[in-house]
Amino acid sequence: MATASACANQDFNITNGDLFQWSNRWPKFADYFGMALRPFETVNLADYMTDKEAVWQRLIEGHTLIPQSLEQVAMWSYWRHLWKPDWDIVSSRTKARQFGFHDIVDSEAMFFRMFDHFHVAKVFL
C-alpha cells in the first residue's frame, strides 16, 4: 500500500484478514505449551502492572535485554480492550480488497509458527 499510487491518502483496516477471538485461542495455546488451562481471570493490566517495575528490571538484567522501563514496553490499558472487550471487534477489510489487497494470514497458524520459531531460537524453553 505504501508504494501503490492508488492508495495515496487512503486509510485501511490492516488485520490478518481472518475472524479471530482470543477466547478460542487460549485452550490451544495452553495445549501447545503443555499447560493446564485454568479458568480465565479478568485483571486490569494497567492496575496490575503498577508495582512490577523491579521484576521487569531483574528480567532485563538476568536475560541481557534492552534496558527500558516497563512503561515503555506496552500501553497496559489497551490490553483490556484487546483481550476482553465488552463487544465483538470485527474489522472490515473490504476497502483493502477493493484496492487489490487480497492476501490473508491464518492467525492461529501464525501464532504457532512464531511459537515454533521462538522455541528453536531458545527464546522460551
Q: What is the mean pLDDT of residues 72-99?
A: 81
Burial class (CB in 10 A: 0-12, 13-18, 19+), 96: buried
Q: What is the mean pLDDT of residues 42-59?
A: 91
pTM: 0.65
Residue 51 lies in a domain: yes
Q: If you search the block for the grid coordinates 541481557, which residue do you land on?
A: 64
Residue 114 lies in a domain: no
Calculate the alpha carbon distances from 65 to 4, 10, 54, 100 in Å. Answer: 37, 37, 14, 40
Residue 27 lies in a domain: no
Query: pLDDT tens for residues 5-19?
Result: 999 999 988 888 888
Structural domain harbouring 50: 42-87
Rounded Cα gap, residues 62 and 49, in angstroms: 19
Residue 108 lies in a domain: no
* 123 pLDDT tier (thresholds 50, 70, 90): low
Q: What are the backbone dihedrals phi and psi of residue 74, each rounded to the nearest 5 degrees, phi first? A: -160, 155
Rounded Cα gap, residues 121 and 61, in angstroms: 19
pLDDT number for residue 76: 87
Residue 65 lies in a domain: yes
Residue 56 lies in a domain: yes
Calculate the alpha carbon distances from 15 to 12, 43, 52, 102 in Å. Answer: 9, 26, 31, 12
pLDDT number for residue 106: 94
Residue 61 lies in a domain: yes
pLDDT number for residue 70: 92
Q: How many domains does the chain have?
A: 1
